Structure 1
Amino acid sequence: MSAQNYIGYHFKFSPLQPAVDILIAELAEVGFESFVEEDDGLSAYIQTSDWQEDILGDIQILNERTFDISYTLEDIEQTNWNETWEKNFNPIVVDDLCAVRAPFHEKFDTQFDIVIEPKMSFGTGHHETTHMMIQHILKNDFQDKTVLDMGCGTAVLAILAELKGAKAVDAIDIDRWCYENSLENIERNNCKNISVFEGDASLLKGKCYDIILANINRNILLQDIKAYVKCLTKNGILILSGFYNDDIPKIQTECETHLLKFQEKLERNQWVALKFLN
């Protein structure tokens, strides 16, 4: 993978919603590739080659008095990112069944042991949404299922799906670094049944899945639920996360519009992960 330098913007704002979703949408329009939602704001990353000094000039939300928004920025080299991550990354264990750790951590005595090196990708299990998605996977039957991991990040969910017996898994992410990092992590975990694609929901035409995992953000989910349903088998499972408890009515209404039936909710620090049945 070729090394790329990134510039990171660290936004602090109040109130968080709906500011975070609006800001992500506007930043994506001007070339920002990766986003990490935080307790009091958002970190957003853009390749140095795509950056220009007035990059925030067209970001309308920054000029709205409704929100109090400030930010700082920093240059990030890939090597520096990795060093920072290694200093701060601690292994996690989900429900005493699944460990997610770095290559330099000792192996855990758990049923599932996943080794992840995220680099500039996101989805190590530490964020509430990834943690809950892992919980949903652990609770459901994946044996001989076809699975989609949409917005795969590090591919941790796709890897766990294969470890749980999935016969074929597609992992898709629009971010180039996530795509390349997913390939690395799949090889690192000796997975054989996962295919990785760079792109968005337009890649789903003609596809068919028993289980779809989508941990993205509210606006993208609302936009793409229709596409998910089109490629979901009868009695198939759709598991969604990347949004707050307050967003449930919109997500659930959109799902029920497409005749999905609500099954289960997991909640962690106001973040939620919902399971629907086709």
Structure 2
Amino acid sequence: MEYYKVTFEIMPDTPANREILSFMMGDAGFESFVDADTCIEGYIQKNLYDKELIENTIEGFPICDVRIDFSTTDAENKDWNYEWEQNGFKPIIIDDLCVIHSTMHKDLPKLKYDITINPKMSFGSGSHETTRQLTRIILSRNFNGKNVLDMGCGTFILGIAASIKGASHITGIDIDEFSTQNAEENCNLNSIENYTIIHGDASSINTSQKYDYIFANIHKNIIINDLEKYVSALAENGHILLSGFYTEDADDISKHAETLGLTVVNSFSENNWTVLELVRR
């Protein structure tokens, strides 16, 4: 197949902005991305290329004061998914406690926790504030014997972290089939066996199986729409960790959660991205 290479220049150029843009452009037909020093390069089949769709996607970038320019050229005839896998993301250190890296990274620090993630086109390498905050919280907790549900699991990094911390079983659900395949691969990379991965949405939740913890790193509107379903599968005194939204959206989610019998017990923020911890009393 013939491909275009689309070069995206992001200002300010941060790992989080790169990850968000890659995630958004996946919905515009891009198959893979390569991190370069001053830009990211996306690859898309020529028959799927839609300049107006790319421009509209950039206009919908969720962070203010970010400028994104792009240019398009013919791509060389290579396996661009392979190229992305070879370059991947940069290793991420969380509080000198955990290193998150791909199979391609070398000379890594020896920390208490080590997680290998090959994210491919799935969301969740740990570089975005939401994933990083949730991973930090999970690694600070004792999950011994806990039954966990990871909604919109992406790479399954949160589920893997919960397994490392002693969870008895983790169920991951994602609407994207490629993400579920990637989640399985990442479980194998980390020798995780106590998991189930499901291709589906909130309707796939087995409400007869009660969960001690539910993670959802998803868009605000999806959280509000699906929260009642989460509650129906939550054990008494169970916890829900929510993220994927801006700090100014937390109040709307908190108010909706209260109508469902949930109490906000913790709130964490980083660069205007918030995590809410809810408990069912």
Structure 1 pair 80–94 and aligned structure 2 pair: CA distance change class (3 A): same
- Aligned CA RMSD, in angstroms, stands at 3.9
Q: Which residue of 1 aligns with 2:242?
A: 240
Structure 1 pair 272–50 and aligned structure 2 pair: CA distance change class (3 A): farther
Q: Which residue of 1 aligns with 2:20?
A: none
Q: Secondary structure at the match of 2:173?
A: strand
Q: Which residue of 1 aligns with 2:82?
A: 79
Q: Secondary structure at the match of 2:187?
A: helix
Structure 1 pair 53–135 and aligned structure 2 pair: CA distance change class (3 A): closer
Q: Which residue of 1 aligns with 2:141?
A: 140
Do the aligned residues in 2 keep the contact of 1:31 with 1:46 (CA within 8 Å)?
no
1:117-136 to 2 correspondences below 5 Å: 117-136=118-137
Distance in structure 2 (CA, Å) of the matches to 1:220 and 1:11: 30
Distance in structure 2 (CA, Å) of the matches to 1:47 and 1:147: 36
Task: List per-residue Cα deviations over 1:42-69 (Å, max 9, x = no partner).
Answer: x9x9974993758849x79979xxx999
TM-score if structure 2 supplies the norm length? 0.75
Do the aligned residues in 1 keep the contact of 2:43 with 2:80 (CA within 8 Å)?
no
Deviation at 1:232, TM superposition (A): 0.4
Do the aligned residues in 2 keep the contact of 1:31 with 1:50 (CA within 8 Å)?
no
Q: Which residue of 2 aligns with 1:269?
A: 271
Task: List per-residue Cα deviations over 1:195-239 (Å, max 9, x = no partner).
Answer: 111111110143421100111111111111111111000000000
Do the aligned residues in 2 keep the contact of 1:81 with 1:120 (CA within 8 Å)?
no
Distance in structure 1 (CA, Å) of the matches to 2:172 and 2:160: 9
Distance in structure 2 (CA, Å) of the matches to 1:33 and 1:230: 36
Greater Cα shift, 71-80 or 144-153:
71-80
Do the aligned residues in 2 keep the contact of 1:172 with 1:179 (CA within 8 Å)?
yes
Do the aligned residues in 1 keep the contact of 2:170 with 2:196 (CA within 8 Å)?
yes
Structure 1 pair 263–49 and aligned structure 2 pair: CA distance change class (3 A): farther
Distance in structure 2 (CA, Å) of the matches to 1:60 and 1:113: 35
Distance in structure 2 (CA, Å) of the matches to 1:251 and 1:154: 25
Distance in structure 1 (CA, Å) of the matches to 2:93 and 2:203: 34
Q: Which residue of 2 aligns with 1:22?
A: none
Structure 2 unmatched ranges of 5 or more: 12-23, 34-39
Q: Secondary structure at the match of 2:248?
A: helix
Task: List per-residue Cα deviations over 1:86-129 (Å, max 9, x = no partner).
Answer: xxx22222123222112233354322111111111121111100
Q: Secondary structure at the match of 2:130?
A: helix
Distance in structure 1 (CA, Å) of the matches to 2:267 and 2:81: 37
Deviation at 1:32, TM superposition (A): 5.9
TM-score if structure 1 supplies the norm length? 0.75
Distance in structure 2 (CA, Å) of the matches to 1:230 and 1:50: 44
Residue identity over aligned pairs, in percent, reads 34
Provide the aligned length of Structure 1 versus Structure 2: 252
Deviation at 1:7, TM superposition (A): 8.6
Q: Which residue of 2 aligns with 1:225?
A: 227
Q: Which residue of 2 aligns with 1:193?
A: 194
Q: Secondary structure at the match of 2:265?
A: strand
Q: Which residue of 2 aligns with 1:210?
A: 212
Do the aligned residues in 1 keep the contact of 2:97 with 2:111 (CA within 8 Å)?
yes
Do the aligned residues in 1 keep the contact of 2:58 with 2:68 (CA within 8 Å)?
no
Q: Secondary structure at the match of 2:227?
A: helix
Greater Cα shift, 233-242 or 120-129:
120-129
- State the AA in 1 paired with 2:187: I
Q: Secondary structure at the match of 2:106?
A: coil
Task: List per-residue Cα deviations over 1:230-273 (Å, max 9, x = no partner).
Answer: 10000000000111111111111111111111011111111111
Distance in structure 1 (CA, Å) of the matches to 2:71 and 2:227: 34
Distance in structure 2 (CA, Å) of the matches to 1:175 and 1:73: 28
Is 1:182 aligned to 2:183, yes or no?
A: yes
Do the aligned residues in 1 keep the contact of 2:146 with 2:167 (CA within 8 Å)?
yes
Structure 1 unmatched ranges of 5 or more: 14-25, 37-42
